[in-house]
Amino acid sequence: MATRSKSSQRWLKEHFSDPFVKKAKAEGLRSRAAYKLEELVERDRLLRPGMVVVDLGAAPGGWSQWVRQALGERGRVIALDILDMPPLAGVEFLQGDFREDAVLSQLEALLDGTSVDLVLSDMAPNKSGVDAVDMPRAMYLSELAMDFADRHLRVGGDFLIKLFQGVGFDDYVKELRRRYEKVAIRKPAASRKRSPEVYALAQGRRAQIK
């Protein structure tokens, strides 16, 4: 039987002692990530009844689950991930690789011309541990998410995306500022302090890119 590395042992200890992990388990939520979204959404009042929300990189479903509960019975939640995700009542799920045109076409078919009110992206690549490899992969996914929002988000709609600080980060935020009336960088309490992840909240999609 293989022994766990010290880093994986440390991660497991941190994970199971994490108050947000314990809270998620107690409240029947699929992921501690739901509390990141809860803080971000409630601070800026991003959700309204009847909204159409697309959740990119949704598995295991923590964000979609929380949004569905917050919206109640009105509105649509469409989730996508390369990984399988157990069904959630009221959530339309598409499994596939967001980098593939065929999968994007399937997602667009699900929308069937409906404009989106809120695009969420918690996507992240599988990490190699080499920044020179991981950052370009992460930025590529982020650019795809921004392109999707460009095509499907209604004018005035909002875009919330996880980003990793590093090469390309500043340029990406500049591109968001060209597209949206207001852009803020957030670090929710449930995001681990040592993690380089932050969330960019872009509000009020402009009719034209500046």
* Per-residue pLDDT tens listing for the chain (210 residues): 445 565 555 534 554 455 545 554 555 554 666 788 888 988 889 999 999 999 999 999 999 999 999 999 899 999 999 999 999 999 999 999 999 999 999 999 999 999 999 999 999 888 777 777 888 999 999 999 999 999 999 999 999 999 999 899 999 999 999 999 999 999 988 776 777 899 999 999 999 999
Range of the domain at 92: 35-205
Q: 159: domain CATH number? A: 3.40.50.150
Helix (H/G/I), strand (E/B), else coil: 100:
coil
162 is catalytic: yes
**63 is an annotated ligand-binding site residue:** yes
On whether residue 113 sits in a domain, the answer given is: yes
On whether residue 13 sits in a domain, the answer given is: no
| Kind and range of the H or E run holding 146 | helix 131-152
On whether residue 39 sits in a domain, the answer given is: yes
Task: Quote the CA–CA distance of 201 and 180 in Å, as a whole number.
Answer: 10
On whether residue 14 sits in a domain, the answer given is: no
DSSP output for 111-141: HTTPPEEEEEE---PPP-S-HHHHHHHHHHH
- 198 forms beta bridges with 163
**147 is an annotated ligand-binding site residue:** no
On whether residue 7 sits in a domain, the answer given is: no
**97 is an annotated ligand-binding site residue:** yes
| Of 22, 25, 127, 162, catalytic | 162
On whether residue 16 sits in a domain, the answer given is: no
On whether residue 9 sits in a domain, the answer given is: no
Task: Say how many domains are in the chain.
Answer: 1
**61 is an annotated ligand-binding site residue:** yes
On whether residue 97 sits in a domain, the answer given is: yes
